[in-house]
């Protein structure tokens, strides 16, 4: 049973004109053999894009890509003809399967911030699919945003003093996407960009110190 703390200040950064990204795992030339995945999760990036900036058309294969927009909007297009604008409160799931190309560009109304997770799918070479689904978040509670294979993605928007019980799955990746958690038996206070990686500790509790957005991946 372990609870590992990963601080946002320790993450690899990619920075260029108009955007910067905080990487939770090894990415590109920033290779760390001790930090390549957690369960099926192989990428968990926190992207900040200026208006009109983003990632031009590029390919993916055999990945389930889940995107949660924190602010602004994200414009998606792909080689299967899908086109959508993803906003806060909506979850985007792109299953690349046998292969797809897509682009992601911040909307014209202002900067965008989004967290994107890449997961190795249960089945390789499947038919690609795409969806954008609104999530009816319940204030102060963990809400299921989507299920991808055997993985669950949950979101909580917490007020100061709100406490949530984390899931029972044996592997959990818990990311503070805004705000802060109080000091607890698990760790010193966690703030924006910090994360827990929990193994074999079901039903742990965390409490918000200020208004906080929590993103939780739970793996059976």
Does residue 2 sit within a domain? Answer: no
5 domain residue, yes or no: no
- Count of domains forming the chain: 2
Report the pLDDT value the prediction gives residue 154, as an integer from 0 to 100. Answer: 98
| DSSP character string of 143-165 | EEEEEETTEEEEEEEE-TT-EEE
Tell whether 130 and 41 lie within a shared domain: yes
Residue written as token pair 């968990």: 44
Instruction: Kindly state whether residue 7 falls inside one of the protein's structural domains.
Output: no
Hey, what are 13's tokens?
């950064």
Q: What is the pLDDT along the chain (220 residues), one digit of tens a residue?
A: 788 899 998 888 899 999 999 999 987 777 788 888 999 999 999 999 999 999 999 999 999 999 999 999 999 999 999 999 999 999 999 999 999 999 999 999 999 999 999 999 999 999 999 999 999 999 999 999 999 999 999 999 999 999 999 999 999 999 999 999 998 767 688 999 999 999 998 889 999 999 999 999 999 9
**Residue 156 placed within a domain:** yes
Residues 158 and 211 in one domain: yes
Same domain, 60 and 107: yes
Give the distance, in angstroms, between the CA of residue 88 and the centroid of all CA atoms in the same chain: 13
Residues, the chain, total?
220
Same domain, 21 and 128: yes
Who contacts 169 (Cβ-Cβ below 8 Å, separation ≥6)? 152, 202, 218, 219, 220
Tell me, yes or no, whether 18 and 107 share the same domain.
Answer: yes
Angle CA 23–217–146, to nearest 5:
115
**Same structural domain, 95 and 146:** no
The β-bridge partners of 154 are 144, 216
Structural domain harbouring 29? 12-134
The rounded distance, in Å, linking the Cα atoms of 164 and 62 is 33
* CATH number of the domain residue 207 falls in: 2.60.120.10
Q: Are residues 26 and 88 in the same domain?
A: yes
One domain for residues 102 and 201: no
| Number of CB atoms found within 10 A of residue 140's CB | 14
């Amino acid at each position: 049973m372990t609870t590992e703390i990963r601080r946002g200040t320790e993450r690899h950064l990619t920075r260029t004109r108009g955007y910067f990204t905080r990487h939770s795992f090894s990415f590109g030339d920033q290779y760390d053999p001790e930090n390549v995945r957690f369960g099926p999760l192989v990428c968990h990036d926190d992207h900040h894009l200026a208006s009109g900036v983003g990632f031009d058309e590029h390919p993916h294969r055999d990945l389930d890509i889940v995107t949660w927009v924190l602010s602004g909007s994200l414009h998606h297009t792909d080689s299967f003809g899908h086109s959508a604008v993803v906003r806060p409160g909506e979850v985007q799931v792109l299953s690349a399967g046998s292969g797809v190309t897509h682009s992601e560009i911040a909307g014209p109304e202002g900067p965008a911030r989004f967290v994107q997770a890449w997961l190795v799918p249960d089945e390789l070479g499947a038919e690609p699919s795409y969806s954008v689904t609104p999530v009816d978040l319940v204030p102060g509670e963990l809400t299921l945003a989507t299920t991808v294979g055997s993985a669950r993605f949950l979101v909580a928007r917490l007020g100061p003093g709100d406490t949530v019980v984390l899931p029972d799955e044996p592997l959990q990746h818990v990311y503070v996407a805004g705000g802060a958690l109080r000091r607890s038996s698990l760790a010193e206070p966690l703030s924006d960009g910090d994360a827990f990686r929990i193994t074999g500790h079901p039903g742990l509790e965390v409490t918000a110190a200020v208004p906080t957005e929590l993103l939780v991946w739970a793996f059976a």
